[in-house]
């Protein structure tokens, strides 16, 4: 009778010892081997499951378990892929030696690679890491946050989902780096990526009572109204313009201010004058009245003009 070999793979992103019931049954029933010590091996030992270390290759492992009904190989954090490949090839040549079974004792939860991003950034921004990142501040990084956001916007406008995935990664890099730098704030004023994520989760739950609190809504308009109502209660703002990002592009800023004024039903007239700024503000108001996004319209016209310039130069259209 051939030996049953269970190649037990676990997620390095979950606490050691957090295994499925099936995995616990296997490690308690059969001898467990591993190439090196690990947190997972130590967690098994703490519960009374011995783990034997074997610094050997696939054939050495087969020799060590010869005659046994079953054995478990506890894969290391990297999955021991080379060892598993050797073992698979060996058994492919002589299948009567053993039956190889792959078992997942735990899986990466959704979002697990975000933990890797946080760990990598922590190393880069810690002593002995990347000198450039360690010298940055929120102020020096601010232009990069805008630049990466615009590049993600360009990918959306181009309909390039592959590029969007990469650009969102660059935006995420900025978020993770800002959060890591904030950990080093003095006098107990620091915060970290968990504080950022926790605040986001709390906000999303609070502002979506139709999902998390069973509140009944009739449609999208009521959902939006609820969001704004809850937001106003949270912020306790003195002005309808509080919270408007003043550093955004001028056309978008003008449209946002006009939107807030319209929503508040304040009767504030547009400035009257012949200066260019007043004229542009009036154009933005006209665009909003027509249901148009002035920023998008100007971008469309500018890009069309850029294509005309390239055509005059006999150069291909902009991408």
Q: What is the pLDDT of residues 35-48, one digit of tens each?
A: 999 999 999 999 99
CA neighbor of 103 nearest in space, from 5, 3, 8, 4: 8
Cα 140–chain centre separation: 23
pLDDT at 153 over 60: yes
Q: What is the pLDDT averaged over residues 295-306?
A: 91
- What mean pLDDT do residues 294-312 have? 91
pTM given for the model: 0.73
Return the pLDDT at 77: 87
Other Cβ atoms within 10 Å of 60 Cβ, number: 10
275 contacts 282 by C-beta, under 8 angstroms: no
Kindly list the strands in the beta sheet with 51-53, ordered across the sheet, starting from the edge strand earlier in the chain.
51-53, 32-34, 70-74, 3-9, 98-104
Nearest to 132 by CA among 144, 124, 122, 121: 124
Mean pLDDT of 174-198: 93
* Averaged pLDDT, 136-158: 95
Q: Tens of pLDDT along 227-274? A: 888 888 887 777 888 888 898 889 999 999 998 888 887 888 888 877
Which is higher by pLDDT, 171 or 314?
171
Q: Is the pLDDT assigned to residue 100 strictly greater than 80?
A: yes
The mean pLDDT value of the chain amounts to 92
Checking if the pLDDT of 319 tops 60, the result is no
* Inter-CA distances, 113 with 42, 123, 147, Å: 24, 15, 24
Domain spans in the chain, listed from the N-terminal domain onward: 3-104, 241-310
163-179 burial string, b = 16+ CB within 10 Å, else e? Answer: ebeebbeebebbbbbbb
Band (286; pLDDT cuts 50, 70, 90): very high
pLDDT at residue number 61: 95
The mean pLDDT of 152-167, rounded to a whole number, is 95
Cα distances (Å, whole numbers) of residue 169 to 3, 13, 134, 198, 201: 46, 20, 20, 20, 20
- Nearest partner of 196 among 212, 211, 213, 181, judged by Cα: 181
> Among 23-27, 131-135, 149-153, 312-316, which is the least confidently predicted range?
312-316
Residue percentage of the chain with pLDDT more than 90: 72
- Cβ-based burial of 44 (10 A; exposed 0-12, middle 13-18, buried ≥19): buried
CATH topology of domain 3-104: Cobalt-precorrin-4 Transmethylase; domain 1 (3.40.1010)
DSSP SS3 for 20: coil
For 314, left (φ over 0), alpha (ψ -120 to 50), or beta? Answer: left
């Amino acid at each position: 009778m051939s030996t049953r070999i269970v190649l037990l793979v676990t997620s390095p992103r979950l606490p050691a010892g957090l295994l499925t019931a099936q995995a616990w049954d296997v490690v308690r029933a059969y001898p467990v081997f591993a190439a090196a010590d690990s947190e997972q091996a130590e967690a098994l030992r703490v519960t009374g499951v011995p783990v034997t270390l074997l610094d050997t290759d696939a054939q050495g492992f087969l020799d060590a378990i010869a005659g046994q009904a079953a054995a478990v190989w506890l894969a290391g954090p990297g999955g021991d892929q080379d060892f598993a490949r050797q073992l698979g090839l060996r058994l492919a040549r002589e299948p009567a030696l053993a039956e190889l079974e792959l078992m997942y004792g735990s899986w990466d939860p959704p979002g697990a690679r975000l933990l890797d991003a946080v760990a990598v950034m922590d190393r880069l921004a810690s002593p002995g890491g990347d000198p450039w990142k360690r010298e940055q501040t929120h102020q020096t990084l601010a232009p990069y946050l805008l630049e990466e956001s615009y590049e993600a916007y360009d990918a959306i406008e181009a309909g390039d989902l592959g590029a969007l995935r990469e650009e969102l990664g660059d935006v995420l890099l900025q978020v993770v780096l800002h959060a890591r730098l904030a950990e080093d704030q003095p006098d107990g004023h620091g915060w970290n990526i968990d504080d950022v994520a926790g605040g986001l989760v709390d906000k999303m739950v609070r502002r979506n009572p139709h999902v998390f609190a069973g509140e009944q809504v009739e449609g999208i308009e009521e959902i939006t109204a609820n969001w704004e109502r809850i937001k106003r209660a949270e912020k306790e703002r003195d002005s309808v313009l509080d919270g408007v990002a003043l550093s955004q592009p001028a056309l978008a800023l003008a449209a946002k201010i006009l939107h807030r004024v319209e929503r508040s039903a304040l009767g504030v007239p547009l400035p009257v004058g012949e200066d260019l700024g007043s004229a542009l503000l009036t154009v933005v108001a006209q665009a909003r009245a027509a249901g148009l996004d002035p920023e998008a319209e100007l971008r469309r016209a500018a890009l069309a003009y850029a294509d005309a310039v390239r055509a005059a130069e006999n150069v291909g259209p902009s991408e």
